[in-house]
Amino acid sequence: MADVEEHIPVYSSLQEVYGKGEKLSKAQSRYQILKRKFFEYYGHIPELYARAPGRVNLIGEHIDYEGYSVLPMALLHDTIVAIRKQDPDNNPRTLRVVNISSHNFPGFVFPADPFQDVDRSKHIWANYLLCAYKGVFDHLRAKGVEIKPPYSGYDILVDGIVPMGAGVSSSSAIVCASAIAIMAVEGLNFSKREVAEFTCICERHIGTQSGGMDQAISIMAKKGVAKLIDFNPIRATDVVLPRKGAFVIANSLTVSTKAVSAASEYNYRVVECRLAAMVLAVKLGMALEEIQNVNTLSDIEGLCIAYADARGESSPLLAVEAHLHENPYTAHEIEDIIQVSLSDVFSKSRACLEVIDSAKSYHLLKRAKHVFSEAQRVYQFRDAVLSSDTDDEKLRRLGELMNESHTSCSKLYDCSCPELEELVKVCRANGAMGARLTGAGWGGCVVSLVEENSVPCFLESLKKDFFQSRIDSGGIKEGDLGTYAFASKPSGGAAILNL
């Protein structure tokens, strides 16, 4: 698993990242504009650039934070951060951040202090940058490096083209690109494993108690392959997809607002999964004094499998079905079983405490069923890719697993929404072998598996059956359609550019 020990690559030409042709010329013009604007804002040109891609998750939804493997691929859509370290005699030193799209994303000036808190009460785009800034220096401190004031200041200009609130990880693209840019101007280059780990931790300052999938794929992606990402420790294994297949990403045009408040649906699911794991642990005989150490459903998989084993079966789902009930649990009922108060269980997480403050009940059976079955589907997907079947057979099987994943997200995890349901139906009706919501859900994108040679025709049908009415009603512009529905091949990961 040498990949994760490699360092972030440093390139001196755009071609190394963006290839040739139209993609390269589009990238060239983005970097030229960045350089020019940077000079206009700051009176200097950038020292260097860092870029990190968004991703589409092919299968394995809402299981990364439960410790289970996921299977995403990087998109060519990325966030670029241009940076220059401020002169040491600059006084006061600051973190100045500007966005190319300054109309939608105003600029900010923060004090140059990497240990300042991220103010979650204001959901501003620049908070992602503050997370990264903290992340780099918290990581250095954790490695035993002494960090003393005065801290360095930076001038930063950001250009992101990863669709936002769309479940394709625009947030991690900005966090990863910013962290790498700051590292690079400080002359640091940690291993990919370290960067994937600390960017996952630092992005949680936003409030979402997310897993590490997005940062891991953004950092470790390799052109031409999807990645099976394992956690604890992070590993990334190449998955070569069948040549005849293509993935089309289509936006439901409903923004997923999972991070806007800490008591969001996302964190609610994180809480439900932990409680499901704790209740199951008690039911399966774990000593009460050990229950507080149960954090995720993967922590108790062994107990579930032992339960199944004793009955001549193998799936952890057997224990789930036997020991959890369909009706939602009240806090009181759970506390009775685990013999700890929920406020004690979550005393270390402000975000989770906010959830239990407002939650009325907890669905434990449905959430646990989703997590264990989705975890199995990830391996079934990987096994189907590796099998000796023909490409057609493989694609059919992959599509089937994607459809099952969607049903599970929708019915068991309740993370779909009417627009996603409509779009999934449209995709399947127009020939997708599989279609599913991707990313956190509650809005955002659908990923479809289609035959490579039917992509143009598929995109036309999506326009006709889903987007046209939204164009007619003025919701979106026809000229922007390419940003709402596009095919994508697996792209490369984050990089530093010395241009």
By annotation, the residues acting in catalysis are 214
Among 8, 61, 368, 430, binds ligand NG1 (CB under 6 A): 61
Q: Where are the alpha helices (DSSP H) in 116-228?
A: 126-142, 170-185, 192-203, 213-220
417 vs 410: CA distance, rounded Å: 8
Given ligand NG1, Mg ion, none, residue 64, with its beta carbon under 5 to 8 Å by kind, binds ligand NG1
Looking at the Cβ atoms of 58 and 319, the one nearer to ligand NG1 is: 58
| Smallest distance, Mg ion to C-beta of residue 195, A | 17
Looking at the Cβ atoms of 57 and 448, the one nearer to ligand NG1 is: 57
154 vs 85: CA distance, rounded Å: 4
DSSP string, 192-206: HHHHHHHHHHHHGGG
Given Mg ion, ligand NG1, none, residue 159, with its beta carbon under 5 to 8 Å by kind, binds none
Structure letter (DSSP) for residue 368 = H
Stretch that binds ligand NG1, among 62-70, 277-285, 363-371, 451-459 (CB under 6 A): 62-70
216 vs 4: CA distance, rounded Å: 9
175 vs 217: CA distance, rounded Å: 13
Give how many residues touch Mg ion by CB under 5 A. 1
Looking at the Cβ atoms of 190 and 413, the one nearer to ligand NG1 is: 413
Q: What does the per-residue mask of binding to ligand NG1 show for 393-432, with x meaning CB under 6 A? A: ----------------------------------------
CB 151 within 8 A of CB 112: yes
Structure letter (DSSP) for residue 35 = H
Q: Among 283, 294, 289, which residue's Cα sits nearest to residue 329?
A: 283
Give how many residues touch ligand NG1 by CB under 6 A. 18
Among 38, 53, 64, 236, binds ligand NG1 (CB under 6 A): 64
| Smallest distance, Mg ion to C-beta of residue 165, A | 8
Stretch that binds Mg ion, among 115-123, 163-171, 223-231, 344-352 (CB under 5 A): 163-171
| Smallest distance, ligand NG1 to C-beta of residue 415, A | 8
Stretch that binds Mg ion, among 164-172, 192-200, 223-231, 276-284 (CB under 5 A): 164-172
Stretch that binds ligand NG1, among 209-217, 319-327, 479-487, 489-497 (CB under 6 A): 209-217
| Smallest distance, ligand NG1 to C-beta of residue 36, A | 31
Residues in region 131-190 near ligand NG1 by CB under 6 A: 167-169, 171-172
Specify the residue for token string 């808190």: 117
Residue 173 tokens, joined? 């693209």
Report phi then psi at 211, rounded to 5. Answer: -85, -165
Residues in region 213-252 near ligand NG1 by CB under 6 A: 213-214
Among 171, 405, 430, 491, binds Mg ion (CB under 5 A): 171
Among 69, 86, 178, 208, binds ligand NG1 (CB under 6 A): 208
Given Mg ion, ligand NG1, none, residue 62, with its beta carbon under 5 to 8 Å by kind, binds ligand NG1
Strand partners for 56: 73
Stretch that binds ligand NG1, among 202-210, 316-324, 392-400, 472-480 (CB under 6 A): 202-210
Among 51, 53, 58, 62, binds ligand NG1 (CB under 6 A): 62
Given ligand NG1, Mg ion, none, residue 167, with its beta carbon under 5 to 8 Å by kind, binds ligand NG1
Q: Please give the radius of gyration of the chain, using alpha carbons only, rounded to the nearest integer.
A: 23
Q: Among 337, 313, 336, which residue's Cα sits nearest to residue 323?
A: 337
| Smallest distance, ligand NG1 to C-beta of residue 416, A | 12
In the chain, what is the greatest distance between 2 CA atoms, to the nearest angstrom?
72
Structure letter (DSSP) for residue 273 = H
Strand partners for 159: 80
CB 140 within 8 A of CB 147: yes
DSSP string, 427-480: HHHTT-SEEEE-SS-SSSEEEEEEEGGGHHHHHHHHIIIIIHHHHHTTSS-GGG
| Smallest distance, ligand NG1 to C-beta of residue 417, A | 13
213 vs 197: CA distance, rounded Å: 10
Query: Where do contacts with ligand NG1 occur on this chain (CB under 6 A)?
Result: 57, 61-62, 64-65, 167-169, 171-172, 203, 208, 210-211, 213-214, 439-440
Give contact residues for Mg ion (rule: CB under 5 A): 171
